[in-house]
Amino acid sequence: MKLALLLYPHSNIRYRASLLQIASEETRLVLRSLGLVSDVAAEEIGGAQFLTFDSGRLLTEREMKMIWQLSSVYMIFLMEDGRILPLESQAPDYIDEDLPLLLKYKGKTNEMFTDSMLTMALASSDFSRNFDAQLVICDPMAGKGTTPLLALRRGFHGIGIEIGRNNVDELAAYMDRYFEFHRIKYKHQQTSLTVRGKNGGTQHKWVFSDSAAHFKDGDTRSFRMICGDTRNALAFLKSGTVHLMVTDLPYGVQTGTAGRDDGLLGTVSQALPGWFDVIRPGGVLCMSFNTHTIRRELLVSETEKAGFSVVETGSLEHWVEQAIERDLVIAKKVSKGSVSDCKKGQNDE
């Protein structure tokens, strides 16, 4: 069964090459999660950019739904007898696709790239076959919430932790406006959080559903946006409750969280043990970072010290703009008895 994946175009020609690189690796990871070993090739068909692969067998309906999780794919075609035949979309849209797109701000990461990170984390976890379950997705350095909003669009539960009060307040106002404009029934609750007996921040929690009937029946999704220090993640969240943790580390930050002069890597290093604790066994942490700010080998070392095992992938380092050369680290909290595609870390010896 040979498929051709039509990719979304991008106006920046140089960045288009980076997106092709990410899309190729994202596709390989998804195929690997399905137990398929296939070459993924870039092809131009009719002047448009495609990725093609041969699965070697007929794919099940559920396997095709997993392939539709690929964020960079606009349409999927069946290649047969020299023709390409369009397949009906099964893209995961629990809520309108504009939810993570409308909130614009300086420094926002391309939503398609963030969605690719989410797919690669899912494909690398023990929960890849549960892509339509109510998984819990957390961004521990959430900014204005692009990652959890993308998670909500797929029907997952979303959690964000962000130190910047202005970011959290702007997102909270946006969420209320969005739900009201789209006439989505919801509840919004704001509470104070206590960490070690002191005020540790605030939490906004929204509970909503894709229909009024489902909301009435209690078939809902939740979004928690926490204004607090990510190093207190274990105080905010229960141990072993997060399936996937996906975060785009700040690209230009030179000082630590909450003004501490320990650098971005120092902040992440202090946060990693708590992140490890809140992730479920078999879950995955996916971090993107600017290689001009953090050296990959140092981030990998700190990640392994916290107990994670780094997942083997092809090269994910790519150009974004003059000051940003981006790379990713995907790391798993390996559960007993799971089949792992991880490199052996220093904590596994």
For residue range 211-251, list pLDDT tens digits in order. 999 999 999 999 999 999 999 999 999 999 999 999 999 98
Q: In which band, very low, low, confident or very high, does the pLDDT at 32 lie, cut at 50, 70 and 90?
A: very high
C-alpha to C-alpha distance for 308 and 294, rounded to whole angstroms: 18
CB 267 within 8 A of CB 178: no
DSSP designation for 9: P
Average pLDDT, the chain: 91
Span 140-144, average pLDDT: 96
Would you say the pTM of this structure is higher than 0.85?
yes
Instruction: Give ∠ CA 342-20-252 in degrees, rounded to 5.
Output: 75
Residue 15 in this model has a pLDDT that exceeds 60: yes
CB 274 within 8 A of CB 231: yes
Residue span(s) of the chain under CATH 3.40.50.150 come to 111-348
Residue span(s) of the chain under CATH 3.30.70 come to 2-86
Which tokens is 120 given? 């690669």
111-348 is classed CATH 3.40.50.150 = yes
Query: Sign of dihedral through CA atoms 114, 117, 119, 122?
Result: negative
Span 88-107, average pLDDT: 88
Q: Select from 283, 200, 203, 196 the least CA-distant residue to 240.
A: 283
One CATH from 3.40.720, 3.20.20, 3.30.70, 3.40.190 for 2-86: 3.30.70
